[in-house]
Amino acid sequence: MMPMGGTPILVVSQNTTRESGRKVQIQNVHSAKSVSDVIRTCLGPRAMLKMLMDPMGGVVLTNDGNCILREITAQNPAAKTMIEISRTQDEEVGDGTTSVIVLAGELLLKSLPFLEDNVHPTVIINGYRQALEDAINILHTQVSAPVDVDNTDDMLKIIMGCLKTKVMGNWDEKACQIALDAVRTVELESSGRTEIDIKRYAKVEKIPGGTIEDSRVLDGVMINKDVTHAKMRRYIKNPRIMLLDCNLEYKKGESQTEIEISKEEDFTKILQLEEKYIQDLCADIIKFKPDLVFTEKGVSDLAQHYLVKANITAIRRVRKTDNNRIARACGATVVSRVDELKEEDIGTKAGLFKIEKIGDEYFCFVVECENPKACTILLRGASKDILAGIERSLQDAMCVARNVMLDPYLVPGGGAVEMAVSQRLVEKSKIMTGITQKPYAAVAAALEIIPRTLIQNCGGDVIRSLTALRAKHAAPGNISWGIDGTTGQLVDMKNYGIFEPLAVKLQTYKTAVETAIMLLRIDDILSGIKKKDDSPPISHSQQPSQEAMKE
């Protein structure tokens, strides 16, 4: 249309906008499903490996979903969202990164027939939300079982079951024991709640050389540092430890400083002032008679001289994270000013300080600590690549132990919990009425993707095994039957000993369903990048057809 002024008016009908939005939603479904298909073969004990090549030419072999997706570069915004939920799952519970992607992709795929039949996305979303609420309720009330976290044998079986999908070689029992010991070490109860911070207080140190059997959890902290002066002690029993966050050297000017000197004595006076400043700093330290000083900043040569004379060992430029771990292990407090030091800031709970040379580097050990709440996991192995794979598996094992200790409930693994929840959702959908019935039932069908994928990855007969599993769960009392991921046979997970933490399953279902809902709510993709002629960006739903725009 062309009004009197001669300016063309864009006319877009409501049907055109709705049609365009539906195309975007279908496109998002296909993009998300393509990401899901990439790592679907990485689920279960018979998972296939992916070879990742980084820009520097390095090669990594892994079946860890989060590790794979971190290396993938996606252009489509929906695919980027799928990659992001794997990272979220890893940060929240540390496990289930492959499952959440596979389930989210299947949920979106099940919404495709509704979109093609012009069902409004809000109707699908309402069905999905209702199914998620019921699934969470089923997990809490009907499927989960409590576990005794103080029983070491049971805890090791749980961790071992969750690690069967990892490439661990023959040392999985050792890894599970290390993970459990580390998590129990950093467990801290304060203000009536339990805190288990494995990211900050359970540090993994990888040192190539030796054998995997030499790996262990230290009852204290190890850092890659040596003493600052050759005459300082390298072996101290029951040390008094002082932790500082300040320089033991003369303060430089905050900005560029200029001093004019007219006489030679003035220069000597300035040097004397610097020496007096260092001497006072060291005097404040020496009066507390520490055996060991860690500082996050530098230590000048003059300060080293005074400390050596007082028989004090100093280690400088320690990372803040390492300093915090030492503080937790030996009971010290990190102090920012030496003139504010108090006797209670000194750590006395460490039994031994020593410097050891491993390979070509020196390492400082603060060990034999009394009830340490921080630890270092020392990993030894043949090469850096092997150690990197072991570390990934060990992090997963620690996350499993932490999840169970924080929320001591388990659900059966091997796809049993998915089939149990699916069966109950199907039964409820049959008595539902209204337009949300079919999307509700679609969630139940989507949950079957986990046992189906386990059967496919071990080369089993998908149709026969899945039909038999449905029949098992239709009968009462078979809630723990699932798929043996190694053979593809139906087994009772309670007897087989494969369980998963409830916290992981809850997070998986919530993240997958919420991601599917979010992508279904998108009806347009707008670009904020301007074109060369600085014209405002226009989305494809705003681009008029020849019939819609007439002059």
**112: amino acid identity, one letter:** L
Give one word for 481, left, alpha or beta, with left for phi > 0 and alpha for psi -120 to 50: beta
Burial of 250 (0-12, 13-18, 19+ CB in 10 A): middle
- Give the active site residue among 98, 228, 436, 515: 98
End-to-end Cα spacing for the chain: 5
Task: For residue 64, indicate whether it is catalytic.
Answer: yes
**Catalytic residue chosen out of the listed positions 41, 64, 322, 508:** 64
Number of residues in the chain:
551
**18 Cβ neighbours under 8 A, 6+ residues apart:** none
> Measured between alpha carbons, how far is residue 291 from residues 231, 241, 287, 311, 372 in Å?
14, 6, 11, 7, 19
- Annotated active-site residue in 41, 97, 165, 515: 97
Can you read off the two tokens belonging to residue 327?
Answer: 């503080």
Whether 396 sits among the annotated catalytic residues: the reply is yes
CA-wise closest residue to 524 among 9, 28, 10, 75 = 28
CA atoms within 13 A on the CB side of 538: 8
Task: Point out which residues pair with 375 in neighbouring strands.
Answer: 202
Determine the Cα–Cα distance for residues 354 and 226; give it in Å rounded to an integer: 10
| H or E element that contains 135 | helix 121-138
| 515 assigned to active site | no
SS3 359: coil
Question: Going by C-beta distance under 8 Å and a sequence separation of 6 or more, which residues neighbour residue 179?
Answer: 159, 394, 397, 398, 400, 401
Distance CA 366, CA 502 (A): 37
Q: Which residues, at least 6 apart from 348, have a Cβ–Cβ distance to it below 8 Å?
A: 238, 240, 241, 330, 331
DSSP state of 250: P
Rounded to whole angstroms, how far apart are CA atoms 379 and 206? 5
CB 394 within 8 A of CB 179: yes
The CA-based angle 46-50-53, given to 5 degrees, is 165
Torsion angle (degrees, nearest 10) of CA 407, 99, 454, 73: -150
DSSP secondary structure of 435-484 = TTHHHHHHHHHHHTHHHHHHHHHTT--HHHHHHHHHHHHHSTT-TTEEE-
For residue 462, how far is the Cα from the chain centroid? Answer: 32
Reduced 3-state DSSP string for 397-434: HHHHHHHHHHCCEEEECCCHHHHHHHHHHHHHHHCCCC
Report the catalytic residues: 64, 97-98, 396
